[in-house]
A and B are shown apart, each in its own frame.
Chain A
Amino acid sequence: MNIGNLPFVVAALLVVFGLYTLLFKRNLIKLVIGITLIETGVNLFLVTLGYRTGGISPIYTYAPEAQQMVLPTPQALTLTSIVIGLATTALLLSFAVFVHRHYGTLDVRKVKELKG
Chain B
Amino acid sequence: MRKALLFVAFLFVSAFLLLAASELKSLDPQTQTEIPRFGSPQAVTMDDYFIDHAQGEIAVNNVVTAVVFDYRGFDTLGEATVLFAAVVGVLALFRRLREDER
Asked if the two chains touch in their complex, CB atoms less than 8 Å apart, one says yes
Seen from chain A, the residues whose Cβ lies within 8 Å of a Cβ on chain B are 1-9, 11-13, 15-16, 19-20, 23-24, 45, 48-53, 58-61, 69, 71-73, 75-77, 79-80, 83-84, 86-88, 90-91, 94, 98
- The reply to whether A5 and B62 contact each other, CB–CB distance below 8 Å, is no
Residues in A whose Cβ lies below 8 Å from that of B13: 19
Are B94 and A16 closer than 8 Å at their CB atoms?
no
Of the candidates B6, B21, B44, B85, the one whose C-beta lies within 8 Å of that of A71 is: B44
A-B contact count (CB 8 A): 129
* A4 touching B37, Cβ below 8 Å: yes
CB pair B37–A5 under 8 Å, yes or no, is yes
Given known contacts A72-B50, A76-B67, A5 and B24 CB-to-CB distance under 8 angstroms: yes
Residue of B nearest to A17 (CB): B14
Measured CB to CB, the nearest residue on chain A to B46 is A73
**Secondary structure of the A contact surface, majority rule:** helix
B21 near A69 with CB under 8 A, answer: no
Question: CA separation between A80 and B41, bound complex, in Å?
Answer: 21
Contact A84 B82 (CB under 8 A): yes
User: B23 contacts the other chain (Cβ, under 8 Å)?
Assistant: yes
Top 9 nearest A-B pairs by Cβ distance?
A87-B86, A53-B39, A12-B21, A58-B63, A8-B21, A60-B61, A71-B47, A16-B14, A4-B36
Q: Which residues of A contact B19 (CB under 8 A)?
A: 1
Instruction: For the complex, give the distance between the alpha carbons of A19 and B16 in Å.
Output: 13
Q: A23-B10, A59-B64, A77-B75 are in contact. Are A15 and B17 (CB under 8 A)?
A: yes
Given contacts A76-B64, A83-B79, contact A4 B38 (CB under 8 A): yes
21 contacts between A and B (CB under 8 A): A1-B22, A2-B36, A7-B38, A8-B38, A12-B21, A16-B17, A24-B6, A49-B41, A51-B39, A52-B41, A58-B62, A71-B41, A72-B47, A72-B67, A75-B64, A80-B79, A84-B79, A84-B82, A87-B85, A94-B89, A98-B93
B27 sits at the interface (CB 8 A): no
Report how far A88 CA is from B50 CA in the complex, Å: 31
